Amino acid sequence: MLTFAKFANELIYATKLNNEELVNILLACVYEPLDLKDKNGNPYYAEKGECSYLLKGKRDVKLEIQRGTSKKEVIDYAETYLKENLIPKIIPSLLDDFLENMRTLIIYDFSISESKKKKLLLLANIQNLASFLGNICLYVISRPNTVQNETMCTNNLPEQNRFFSGRVEVLQNIDSLFYKEKKDTISICQTISGLGGIGKTQLAIQYAYNYHYKYKTCIWFIDAESGYSVYNTFVDFAEHFNLFLPVNYNTKDLQRVIKTWLSENRSWLLVFDNLETLDTITPYLPDKINGRILITTRNNRIDYGTPFLLDVFNLNEALLFMKRRLSKNNECKMEYYKYNDFSEKSTVLIKRLGYLPLALEQAGAYIKEVRCSISGYLELLKQSSIDVFSDKYASPEYYESIVTSTWHISFAALEESSRQLLNLCAYMGADNIPIKFFVEMRSQLPTPLSDDLSKQLTINRIVTGLRTYSLTSGTADLINIHRLVQEVIRKYQEIEEVSSSDKIGWLQLDFDMLEKYLPTSCEEPNSVSRFMQIAIHAESIAEYYSIFAKADNIKLANVYDKIGECYDDCGMFANAFSNYFNSLKIKEQYLGKDHPDTAIQYDNIGLSYTKTGDYQKAIKWHKKAINILESSLGKENLDTATAYNNLGLALVRNGDYDSGIEWYQKCLAIELKILGDEHIEIAADYNNIGEAYHQKHDEKSALKYLMLALRIKEKQLGSMNSNTAITYNNLGSVYWRLKRYDDAIKYTEKSLDVYQATYGEQHPNSALERANLASIFADKGDLKKARDYYIKAIEVGKNSLGLSHPETAKAIDGMGTTYLTDGKIKLALPYFLLAYKLLSDTLDQNHSDVMLVYKHLQTVHKKMGVLQSFDNWLAIQLKRSIIELEAEMQNNEF
């Protein structure tokens, strides 16, 4: 709705008028000729000052018109006054922008009648500018609506900072860059950089509140410090807008739906806060952006969109901020506390704190809470900082020291439990620190914190206590703490005259808790959620522990391994490798490169490379491990045998079947000698060798070894064990290739029965076995049964693995082949298209699974008799959205 606040913002932008001048002009245009009266019959004038006064309690101008002043008289008076007093002040270079913005406001104001809207739009040009402004003045002031009462679009904005001051020109510049009439000058993205604590985040939030009316769809605030925080925020976004995601979706699923939503919707604003690297957010952004993006970052090297560097407050802005911060009702009136020394000492305080918004906020919070004078606070600063500060212009060191001084005083006012919690938070990630971590590990903590973490009432008190002096933000469940606060706490701990072992006392507690809290693996959804919430904090604690701790280095290596294994299970291999290599560095340094444990680390890294498909690197690492293990432990050792097995796996996956089988056999020979021929590890060896022969298309040898494996597994584990089911599945695959369909179905159904009994029908393994059965029935010619199994496999696969998972996509392709075999070409097409889109997003274009679907599409193109070339036809077909293709599939199945 076109409110006065919107109109005032546009006038200030186009004319550079101050608020007082604007008030006077509008009074002259409308109020003075109408002779408005207050409730006592006295002439009514808006108070001079901020424009917001015009929004409070004004009488309807329409009533005055009804009392005798004609509408035409008002417009005529306004037009004359505007020509003489306002239009000459409009900056020529901003005139086009002003008119375009005003036209946009009018178009989207549904409260304006179509006839009135048409008239206003006709006047919205340079020739009729005075008349246009006069009509707008009358319209907006006649309405009782205020910007505060106007409904904002959907948003997740943090609470607006009621003490926000200054930055007027910066806010106007941000908006003017976002909205230009000439499309080639529009900046759809802007990046605000600057020193930590300088107010980047608050500026971005204030922009969103000030200009929210320009965004009709949504405004979304994203913590962009890490990929995990971006992921979590977009999960909330997807849930809020009911975006389609499978039950056990992965990151690519989320990125896909966010990209689609952003490309299909307009008039939105995304605020990426505390961005560290562009790689964190680019996977979520479409090529064509239909909204606006505002980024804040400490890293001024990030050059995305239009960058600008935010400076500290100027003196006037800082004074205004302090007046508001120390007032009773945020109205710059000092009646609540008698700060008699404000005019004399406030400038001294501002300069002492380096004009830094965060430092001023901390000072204001402390002064107001304690109710001391500014002189008293300055004296406290002097006493507390005498050994820390020497030169206030000492750049980053002094920047930190100023904040240290302020926070040091605030720390002293905290309750003991809050102070203990703050000390623990100093070594964690800055945002979204889970209270749950401390609650679960409270038995490891000192009193009184351990006692207070046992009840929600006292938990809330502790967390709220940290927010009292603006030391933290967040919720009752998650703590956000400024990086500078953390740095100050760590520095304060270093300054304390304590023994070196005590210096890492709080860090040691964090590390000990982390050891116990980390899940051993992330193979189940609950453990994935648990790990993802603590992941960034785990890495942070480990990093600080590596700096300060001089002992327990192998314990640190083991923690790195645990973190790496969890990332590995989550499919986040880059993060996994980072932690694996951190562990390796420690083991090489403290154990030596030729130590068996170091060699096992080499072997584990090789296994991870096999998982990612980088078989050459995997082979290199396995061979490196084997050389050391053979030298240190000997060839007939179980750890050496494991390395032989892992090298065999990498070779088989790389297509070198004979070499792979040779290494498998070496492993088998050692384990037979040490473990005996009935051990379950021997069964695993037989299974691996059998699978390798199957990959080599030597089905006779494959059956021999798989049967050996099955005999041991059924004897040692029983027929209903998931380990036994692996061999059932492999046997089914061999019999299928041999066209022995009854045997293939028998063993595959056995495998399915085990998985359903062990994990339930919705487990990924159940989905895979159904897809295998579907393929067997399709090859056998029973297309109806094949479709029934494929439908169930796709459903379970979507819910457990995600739509974009290769196994789900392969099941979708398989469903398409049943229609292709049946001659129902048009029914097959959506399945092949969807499978191709999904597989192309996750696998290399030359991958065998991608090429198979590509050939299916070529067959469809040929059978349909399309005259258009295949490549052009396919490009057009692939423009269909995933949602559209899914809907068509469901219609076919119905």
Residue-range domain boundaries for the chain = 4-142, 154-309, 325-412, 414-498
State the Cα–Cα distance between residues 287 and 137, nearest whole angstrom. Answer: 41
Buried b (16+ CB within 10 A) or exposed e, 681-711: bbbbbbbbbbbbbbebebbeebbebbebbbe
Q: What is the CA radius of gyration of the chain?
A: 34
Contact 90, 98 (CB under 8 A): yes
Six-digit token pair at 336?
Answer: 């609540």
State the Cα–Cα distance between residues 142 and 211, nearest whole angstrom. Answer: 22
State the Cα–Cα distance between residues 197 and 482, nearest whole angstrom. Answer: 8
The pTM of the whole model exceeds 0.75 = no
Q: List all residues 6 or more positions away from 731 whose beta carbon is below 8 Å from its beta carbon.
A: 703, 706, 707, 710, 743, 747
Q: Which of 230, 261, 263 is nearest to 243 (CA)?
A: 261
The single residue listed with the structure tokens 């089911």 is 725
Q: List all residues 6 or more positions away from 739 whose beta carbon is below 8 Å from its beta carbon.
A: 779
The pairing of strands 478-481 and 472-474 is antiparallel
Cβ burial of 373 (10 Å; 0-12, 13-18, 19+) is middle
State the Cα–Cα distance between residues 250 and 522, nearest whole angstrom. Answer: 13
Could you write out the DSSP letters of every residue in 61-98? Answer: HHHHHHTT--HHHHHHHHHHHHHHHTGGGS-HHHHHHH
State the Cα–Cα distance between residues 435 and 426, nearest whole angstrom. Answer: 14
- Report how far apart the first and last C-alpha atoms of the chain are (Å, whole number): 46
Q: Which of 531, 24, 442 is nearest to 232 (CA)?
A: 531
State the Cα–Cα distance between residues 262 and 270, nearest whole angstrom. Answer: 10
SS3 671: helix
Six-digit token pair at 317?
Answer: 């802005």
Q: For residue 868, how many other CB atoms are within 10 A of its CB?
A: 11
Contact 816, 828 (CB under 8 A): yes
State the Cα–Cα distance between residues 378 and 720, nearest whole angstrom. Answer: 75
Angle formed at CA 453 by CA 451 and CA 455, multiple of 5 degrees: 90
- Residue 170 CA, chain-centre distance (Å), reads 27
State the Cα–Cα distance between residues 426 and 488, nearest whole angstrom. Answer: 9
SS3 296: strand
| Maximum C-alpha span of the chain | 111
State the Cα–Cα distance between residues 866 and 862, nearest whole angstrom. Answer: 7
Q: Please report, as a single letter, which amino acid is at residue 197.
A: G
Tell me the CATH architecture of domain 154-309: 3-Layer(aba) Sandwich (3.40)
Cβ burial of 154 (10 Å; 0-12, 13-18, 19+) is middle
State the Cα–Cα distance between residues 82 and 60, nearest whole angstrom. Answer: 22
Q: Please report, as a single letter, which amino acid is at residue 831.
A: Y
User: Which bin fits 760, alpha (ψ -120 to 50), beta or left (φ > 0)?
Assistant: left
The pairing of strands 478-481 and 433-434 is antiparallel
State the Cα–Cα distance between residues 9 and 13, nearest whole angstrom. Answer: 6
- Residue 808 CA, chain-centre distance (Å), reads 26
SS3 433: strand
HEC string of 389-424? CCCCCCHHHHHHHHHHHHHHHHHHCCCHHHHHHHHH
Contact 542, 559 (CB under 8 A): yes
State the Cα–Cα distance between residues 531 and 567, nearest whole angstrom. Answer: 9
The two counts, helices (H) then strands (E), for the chain are 42, 9
State the Cα–Cα distance between residues 404 and 157, nearest whole angstrom. Answer: 29
The single residue listed with the structure tokens 């910066």 is 170
Class of domain 414-498: mainly alpha
State the Cα–Cα distance between residues 557 and 581, nearest whole angstrom. Answer: 9
Where do the DSSP E strands lie in 113-251?
Answer: 154-155, 189-193, 218-223
Q: For residue 39, how many other CB atoms are within 10 A of its CB?
A: 8
Residues lower than pLDDT 50 in the chain:
32-39, 43-68, 144-149, 181-183, 330-338, 385-402, 405-406, 497, 499-500, 503
DSSP annotation of 29: I
Mean confidence (pLDDT) of the chain: 81
Q: List all residues 6 or more positions away from 702 whose beta carbon is below 8 Å from its beta carbon.
A: 690, 691, 693, 694, 730, 734
State the Cα–Cα distance between residues 476 and 113, nearest whole angstrom. Answer: 47
State the Cα–Cα distance between residues 767 and 752, nearest whole angstrom. Answer: 9
The pairing of strands 306-309 and 218-223 is unpaired
**pLDDT tens, residue by residue, 492-541:** 777 664 544 554 589 999 999 999 999 887 766 567 778 889 999 999 99
Q: Which of 566, 563, 567 is nearest to 582 (CA)?
A: 563
Q: Which of 24, 360, 25, 15 is nearest to 172 (CA)?
A: 15
| H-state helical runs in 189-341 | 200-210, 227-240, 251-264, 315-325
Residue 479: beta bridge partners? Answer: 433, 474
Please indicate whether the domains covering 154-309 and 414-498 agree at the CATH topology level.
no
